[in-house]
Amino acid sequence: MVGSPAPPPSNSGSSAAAFKSNASGLSPGLEPTQAASASPAAAAPPPPSPPPVRVPSVTLVAVLGVVGELLARGFLTRLEIRDAERTDARAPALFDRVLATFLAEAWDPEGASRLPIPPPPLGDGSEVELLRVLPAVRAHGGLAGVASWAAVAEAVGLDPATGTAVKILYRKYLDQTLAKPLEVHKEVESSGCNGGRSRRSGSGKDKFLSSLTKDLKRKRDPFVGMLNAVRQVAKNPAEAGMKNYDPCGYLNTAVWLRRHMFAAECLSAERLEGMLNWVRHAAKNPAEPGLIGTDDCDDHRSTADMLRREMRANNIGSASSQNGHYYEDALRCINKSSASPIRPSGQADIPEWTGKAPSRHDDRRALRFLGERILIPESNEALDVGSIGKGRQDNCYCQSPGSIDCIRFHVAEKKDELKRELGSAFYKMGLHETGEDAAHSWTKSEERRFNTIIQENLPSSEYNFWDILRTAFRYKGSKAIASYYHNVFQVQRRAYQNQLGLEADSDDDSIEPGFLYSRQGNIGRSRSRPAASSSGNGKALRLCLILISDR
Amino acid sequence: MKPHRLCMTHHLVLSYGLHNKMEIYRPHKAYPIELAQFHSADYVEFLHRITPETKDLYASELTRYNLGEDCPVFDNLFEFCQIYAGGTLDAARRLNHKTSDIAINWAGGLHHAKKCEASGFCYINDLVLGILELLKYHARVLYIDIDVHHGDGVEEAFYFTDRVMTVSFHKYGDLFFPGTGDIKDRGEREGKYYAINIPLKDGIDDASFTRLFKTIIAKVVETYLPGAIVLQCGADSLARDRLGCFNLSIEGHAECVKFVKKFNIPLLVTGGGGYTKENVARCWAVETGVLLDTELPNEIPNNDYIEYFAPDYTLKVANLNMDNLNSKTYLSSIKVQVMESLRSIQHAPGVQMQEVRLSL
């Protein structure tokens, strides 16, 4: 009974039954390999099927379980496991070898050498068996859930004081490599089925083992179950169109499989054509809405990326680090697609560096995106050093220097100067709509209405006048309203505060009632025509103008 | 966050006449596909579609993308992102094509945005996009961040690569946003030692900050030999900032910009944080002057927003009378740790690194 593996069930519904019938957990390590050779994706050679002479221990079963898991994912294809290693005593050594092989395959060969296996001894001289650490941590709730690393250390047979060291080891060796893919895979498989969470909590090595075993059984089923699911979808596309109709993750597996197949072989003609059409379309209409963000285009993008990478890879020299980059990139792509429900990590895709910058001619398209020229200084020699940054002169001849009107006049004066200097750039930069010039497009009655709305909805803690403003001035648009508020209203408010000598906080938007009243009276006074102003300052302003022209 | 501070900055720059010494360009609006060079496609698409009117229908997406609270949905949000990101992208391209030696985009520098979510009022990470653009023409790019907050979005984007070295000076501890940026975070895999974090405490003053900055950046440039530098000049590291807690004056802040400029390496300068509008405008106007080797007179010329600079209408931002919690020993230990990190990078990247030894 021990030596003969149970045949894979022919339909998905029997997975529960199959688990029950194999509850003893005997020889699970053999079944995944059989599934691996049955699947079209993994090219694992059929492993030898030795008859174990006695019931394998829990530890050995765990190791074989991990082996099966990795084989089903396409790793360890060249790993030969000898009969002699399938013993309890050799289980830890076998695990170390498996881990080393997996690291060499999943990362570049140099990366594997960075993590010595077995790990060096701890500070107190004790050796750590990674194989024992993995189930212990899982039993304590995984990396995130461990409450006490001292307890984990104890469970592994080490001094509790080495808890931190065990944690570091786990993170370096097992979290990045094994546990994550396993955890990820379980999440894919168990979403929607049986509520995977209850399986992962709990304590004890047997719980870990049984959950792993269950997982292995389910791993085998998906390939057959998945084919059935795909067949179902083909028969009833409308029914399966509902996004959530994928309770056992079969369709995810199907997508992963297809991607894996196409990544490894050359791209099919239709796929290439579809992708090239999309790229062409994107180049012609970059601003088109909906161009990205759909499933189709994500496919096209990843195909395009892969094609480009493959093409570049053939031109790159044999610098090992670059090959390593490419290898890791490609694998990351495959791994990512198999872990599709998980949020992608936050890293950017770095472009390849071929050793020299691209020729300017290749990048002609980018020349369109250097910014629209607004203002270029005429010549550097004619620069009047004194004209740079002339500060504010306080010796004006206004009737009441420093008053609101005086300031407004001088601001207008300076702005006219700037307008003459900048020419058309003045309008291109939108300066004709900043400051109090923003009020030009508002009639007197509109401005009064603005003021009244704010008066009637004086903000206490919230700016509840915005909605009312937006409704009242809907025809102007929110841009115009915001512009008026910041350029006219707030500036005048600040001027009012300054006149009163109030300590102003630029971020305190509460409004003094006195300001609103004084504003009602002043609305409509145009600042840009100071000579025509009807205030008592008229005479003084004219004097200023004359003085200026005398210079 | 007050985008109005950008208006104020530009007005100051123009009223000081600095436009006579530099070229001014209007950027193109970045296309969604350009934004998706870094960000995930679904996030960009969501930013494109969401409006304040429809946001209540997408509660779960808002949570997923971290929109709604620190990063509110407002009218023309996407256009805003397109403009400032387009600015940094165009700036990077101008540097690549050698049509400019220094390119400034005060509207950029939103360093918290992540690949699939907004953060800290940053929606699109224009810095990452700009750096990716620079990486097409340069083997190595150095990123320096003097915002009071940790430049987490940029660091995370390039955490595993040695082609970008990120150096961030920021306040760390007391649950200060975003909570990352410990000195021990140095990068991983190929990027190990290519992320440098300088965590600081409240109240650091001009002298301590500039000394530390110059020592570290000099060593970084000497060791790393970048082809281009991106400098994020967040102004919330100034004294009296609404959210910041440092005690730098504008002179101190601008000193750092001056120092980086001296290397004569293609330089992309962006804005960033800064929550006391008028001080932000002052700071960035002064720094525009610094980049143009022009010292601005203290009196602020008349401009549309002159009233904001009352009562004295000058460029000065007075320091606060606060304690500098960064002791000499603390700063010295930071410096030592950073230097040690830099020693691990013997040559420019591409050379095999030493085997990682398990250290406890």
Q: What is the pLDDT of residues A114-124, one digit of tens each?
A: 566 667 666 66
Whether the pLDDT of residue B310 is over 70: the answer is yes
pLDDT at residue B91, rounded to an integer? 95
Contact A32, A216 (CB under 8 A): yes
pLDDT at residue B80, rounded to an integer? 94
Cα(B211)–Cα(A212) distance, rounded to whole angstroms?
Answer: 56
Total domains, chain A: 3
CB contact under 8 A, A377 and B94: no
* Cβ-Cβ contacts under 8 Å, A498 against chain B: 307, 310-311
Place of tokens 């009047």: A384
Q: What is the pLDDT confidence band of residue B147, given thresholds at 50, 70 and 90?
A: very high
CB contact under 8 A, A390 and B18: no
Backbone φ/ψ region at B168: left (φ over 0), alpha (ψ -120 to 50), beta: beta
Domain's final residue, options A179, A200, A220: A179
Mind telling me how many Å the CA of A304 is from chain B's nearest CA?
A: 13
Mind telling me how many Å the CA of A371 is from chain B's nearest CA?
A: 4
Q: Is A429 on the interface with B (CB under 8 A)?
A: yes
If asked whether residues A423 and A466 sit together in one domain, one would say: no
* Helix (H), strand (E) at residue A131: helix A130-139
Q: Is A296 on the interface with B (CB under 8 A)?
A: no
Is B112 a catalytic site residue? yes
pLDDT at residue A194, rounded to an integer? 38
pLDDT at residue A441, rounded to an integer? 86
Domain's final residue, options A128, A152, A179: A179
- Residue A145 within any structural domain of the chain: yes
pLDDT at residue A289, rounded to an integer? 59
- Residue A28 within any structural domain of the chain: no
For A110, which residue in chain B has the nearest alpha carbon?
B352
CB contact under 8 A, B90 and A487: no
* Cβ-Cβ contacts under 8 Å, B294 against chain A: 388-389
Q: Is B70 annotated as a binding residue?
A: yes
- Closest alpha carbon to B239 in B186, B275, B199, B192: B275
Which CATH number fits the domain B3-24+90-344, given the four candidates 3.60.140.10, 3.40.800.20, 3.50.50.60, 3.40.50.800? 3.40.800.20
Cα(A491)–Cα(A495) distance, rounded to whole angstroms?
Answer: 6
Beta bridge partners of B229: B142, B267
Contact B241, B276 (CB under 8 A): yes
* Helix (H), strand (E) at residue A450: helix A444-456
More confident call, A147 vs B235: B235
Indicate the residue type of B293: D
- The CB density around residue B95, as the number of other CB atoms within 10 Å, is 26
**What is the four-CA torsion angle of B207, B211, B217, B220, rounded to 10 degrees?**
-150
Termini Cα distance of chain B: 43
* Cβ-Cβ contacts under 8 Å, A470 against chain B: none
For A385, which residue in chain B has the nearest alpha carbon?
B294
pLDDT at residue A305, rounded to an integer? 66
pLDDT at residue A44, rounded to an integer? 45
Cα(B51)–Cα(A261) distance, rounded to whole angstroms?
Answer: 41
Window A:403-422, CB contacts with B under 8 Å: 407, 410-411, 413-415, 418, 422
- Residue A171 within any structural domain of the chain: yes
- The CB density around residue B180, as the number of other CB atoms within 10 Å, is 17
pLDDT at residue A362, rounded to an integer? 57
If asked whether residues A67 and A157 sit together in one domain, one would say: yes
Cα(A366)–Cα(B34) distance, rounded to whole angstroms?
Answer: 12
Cα(B344)–Cα(A179) distance, rounded to whole angstroms?
Answer: 30
- Residue A117 within any structural domain of the chain: yes
Three-state secondary structure readout of B55-89? HHHCHHHHHHCCCCCCCCCCCCHHHHHHHHHHHHH
Q: Which pair of tokens denotes residue B49?
A: 């579609």
CB contact under 8 A, A168 and B360: yes
* Cβ-Cβ contacts under 8 Å, A344 against chain B: 40, 115-116
For B3, which residue in chain A has the nearest alpha carbon?
A486
- Closest alpha carbon to A291 in B271, B203, B335, B32: B32
* Cβ-Cβ contacts under 8 Å, A373 against chain B: 23, 25
Whether the pLDDT of residue B47 is over 50: the answer is yes
Q: What is the pLDDT confidence band of residue B357, given thresholds at 50, 70 and 90?
A: very low
Average confidence score pLDDT of chain B: 91
CB contact under 8 A, B132 and A348: yes
Q: Is A387 on the interface with B (CB under 8 A)?
A: yes
pLDDT at residue A490, rounded to an integer? 84
B358: nearest CB among A119, A487, A506: A119
CB contact under 8 A, A370 and B242: no
* Cβ-Cβ contacts under 8 Å, A168 against chain B: 358, 360
If asked whether residues A406 and A515 sit together in one domain, one would say: no
Indicate the residue type of A333: C
pLDDT tens digits for B2-22?
778 999 999 999 999 898 889
More confident call, A174 vs B297: B297
If asked whether residues A404 and A483 sit together in one domain, one would say: no
For B64, which residue in chain A has the nearest alpha carbon?
A343
pLDDT at residue A387, rounded to an integer? 57
CB contact under 8 A, B25 and A415: no
Residues in chain B: 360
If asked whether residues A506 and A405 sit together in one domain, one would say: no
A292: nearest CB among B41, B163, B307: B41
More confident call, B106 vs A483: B106
CB contact under 8 A, B90 and A120: no
Window A:67-106, CB contacts with B under 8 Å: none
If asked whether residues A410 and A472 sit together in one domain, one would say: no
B24: nearest CB among A291, A293, A374: A374
- Residue A314 within any structural domain of the chain: no
Residues of chain A with pLDDT under 70: 1-56, 58, 106-118, 120-125, 144, 172, 175-226, 229-230, 233-273, 275, 279, 282-284, 286-344, 359-368, 379-394, 458-464, 504-513, 520-551
Contact A107, A328 (CB under 8 A): yes
For B128, which residue in chain A has the nearest alpha carbon?
A348
* Cβ-Cβ contacts under 8 Å, B352 against chain A: 110, 321
CB contact under 8 A, B304 and A290: no
CB contact under 8 A, A287 and B31: yes
CB contact under 8 A, B356 and A115: yes
pLDDT tens digits for B64-93?
999 988 899 988 899 999 999 999 999 999
Q: Is B109 annotated as a binding residue?
A: no
Q: Is A241 on the interface with B (CB under 8 A)?
A: no
Q: Is A293 on the interface with B (CB under 8 A)?
A: yes
CB contact under 8 A, B17 and A389: yes
| Residue A448 belongs to domain spanning | 433-519
State the average pLDDT over residues B21-47: 93
CB contact under 8 A, A370 and B278: no
Q: Report pTM.
A: 0.61
If asked whether residues A91 and A141 sit together in one domain, one would say: yes
Q: Which of B112, B138, B170, B253 is catalytic?
A: B112
- Closest alpha carbon to A250 in A10, A12, A9: A12
- Closest alpha carbon to B174 in B203, B135, B195: B203
Instruction: Return the SS3 of A508.
Output: coil
* Cβ-Cβ contacts under 8 Å, A410 against chain B: 302
Cα(B15)–Cα(A388) distance, rounded to whole angstroms?
Answer: 9
Mind telling me how many Å the CA of A73 is from chain B's nearest CA?
A: 24
pLDDT at residue B75, rounded to an integer? 86
If asked whether residues A76 and A148 sit together in one domain, one would say: yes
CB contact under 8 A, B156 and A346: yes
Mind telling me how many Å the CA of B229 is from chain A's nearest CA?
A: 16
Mind telling me how many Å the CA of B328 is from chain A's nearest CA?
A: 31
For A120, which residue in chain B has the nearest alpha carbon?
B358
Q: What is the pLDDT confidence band of residue B289, given thresholds at 50, 70 and 90?
A: very high
State the average pLDDT over residues B249-271: 96
B157: nearest CB among A168, A346, A388: A346
More confident call, B99 vs A197: B99
Distance of CA B177 to CAs A33, A493, B3, B38, B203, Å?
49, 33, 20, 23, 16
* Cβ-Cβ contacts under 8 Å, B40 against chain A: 344
Contact A261, A41 (CB under 8 A): yes
Q: Which residues contact A445 (CB under 8 A, 6 or more apart)?
A: none
Q: Is B187 annotated as a binding residue?
A: no
- In a mutational test of the B interface, the residue from A388, A407, A488, A548 whose CB has the highest number of chain B CBs within 10 Å is A388
